[in-house]
Amino acid sequence: MSFLSRDNGGSAEEPAVEVANGARLIPRITIQAFCEHSQTAQLVESAVHDRRMSKVALTTHNGGLEGAIETYKANPTPNLIIVETSARPEEIPSGLERLAEVCDASTRLIVLGHVNDVLLYRELIRSGVSEYIVLPASAQSIVSAITELFAAEGAAPIGRTIGFLSAKGGAGGSTVSHNVAWAISQHLRQDTLILDMDLAFGTAGLNFNQDPPHGIADALGNSQKMDGTMLDRLASKAANHVNLLTAPVVLDRTFDFEEREFEQIVELSQKSTPIVVLDIPHIWSAWVRHTLATIDEVIIVAEPDLANLRNAKNLSDTIKALRPSESEPLLVINKVGMPRRPEIAPNEFATSVECRLLGQIAFDAATFGTAANNGQMIAEVSANNRANEVFRQIGMHVTGRNAPEKSASKASSLKLPSFLKKKRA
């Protein structure tokens, strides 16, 4: 993770400098700044007027470093934290260690401080803090530091790719993927992009009550000139923090793709959006194999019957072979408890498939049917439905908020932000 600190410098009233045409835009990240002084808050808020920050969601809070520590004891951390501290140089590293204990591993930090100390700067940078800015400073210097982190040439993609695949047609992979994406966007308040990869029969547009003129087919058809700006224009906004690349759902032509056909779209999506959810159709082809081999997480959605068990087992074995050094596929059992249907117990199902059971969703025809017909998510139709908590738990796990079950020492090391891991290495 990387941190920012800020101070109440006189430059708080300086307008952010508009950058030249062609400058790289910072992707759709969330930034939370914790300031000790009102002037510093004004300085940080003025940074959003820079064109490079046009996609960024930035909020400011009081309390500085201590305020950030208290906030993240009970709340998820954003992509970037900016924290102001007036502490003495010898006290800052220990304060950052306390902050690291309540932060997610992927969060970055920029520190705004009041002490111009070269030794402190070197120690913070060596330990993994992204930048230390001495106040007073200009809004442009803050924007430039953020740009260097997220939009510079060679910057690591910010997006985490999560693919959902049904073990059998009708198992509900699309419904689960859309509701998990919704849960992530609402609970983490991070932008989420859903790629509907079933071009002939996709349901993302229906489930979000959207019928945009452009979508994923346009992105595939313009691959030669596709870039982040064009991809952003083709996506449609379905809700706060939720964007879609919908399928055309037409049968006047067939969609036969090469193995790497979707690779460029997925990579561009990773560079611009923190969470990328892939709604993968229930087919088996070269491009599906390649996609499953290259994304961060794979979720198999299955119903608790024999055909789903057979298919889920085949998928699990194949995906494990495709990605031997990556995370193993995870399992979600859907439509549990359907009346008069003999079922395989979820834990027995997961044991047979040799997948970790990430969640089980009860059969609820009335609620899910209403949501589908209205073009809404389950949380919008029934806020207290138990499925919402399952969707939230799935979302927290696949975004790294809940570490896999490992030994206590491994679990704690996985949670450490990058600056602390470097320091302890």
- The more confident residue out of 424 and 67 is 67
**Omega prior to 136 cis, within 30 of 0:** yes
Both 213 and 227 in one domain: the answer is yes
- State the pLDDT at residue 420: 55
205 and 329 share a domain? yes
The CATH number given to whatever domain includes residue 59 is: 3.40.50.2300
**Do 139 and 165 belong to one domain?**
no
Q: Is residue 91 part of a domain?
A: yes
Higher pLDDT, 214 or 413: 214
pTM of the model: 0.79
For the chain, what is the domain count?
2
**Whether residue 227 sits in one domain with residue 112:** no
Whether residues 385 and 285 fall in one domain: yes
- Output the pLDDT for position 10: 39
Co-location of 180 and 120 in the same domain: no
Q: Identify the bridge partners of residue 85 per DSSP, sorted by sequence position.
A: 113
Same structural domain for residues 115 and 214?
Answer: no
The first and second tokens of residue 229, run together, are: 């700006």
Per residue in 322-343, pLDDT (tens digit) is 999 899 999 999 999 999 999 9
Q: Which residues contact 151 (CB under 8 A, 6 or more apart)?
A: 24, 25, 26, 27, 52
Q: Where do the DSSP E strands lie in 87-239? A: 108-113, 131-134, 160-166, 192-196, 236-239
**77 shares a domain with 168:** no
Largest CA distance in the chain: 72
Q: Which residue segment(s) compose the domain that 78 sits in?
A: 3-155
Instruction: Flag whether 348 is in a domain.
Output: yes
309 within a domain of the structure (yes/no): yes
Q: Is the pLDDT of residue 45 over 70?
A: yes
pLDDT 10s digits, 96-120: 989 988 888 788 999 999 999 888 8
Give me the CATH number covering residue 257: 3.40.50.300
- 105 and 82 within one domain: yes
Q: Say if residue 172 is in the same domain as residue 140.
A: no
335: left (phi over 0), alpha (psi -120 to 50) or beta: left
Task: Please tell me the distance from the alpha carbon of residue 131 to that of residue 112, in angstroms, as a whole number.
Answer: 8
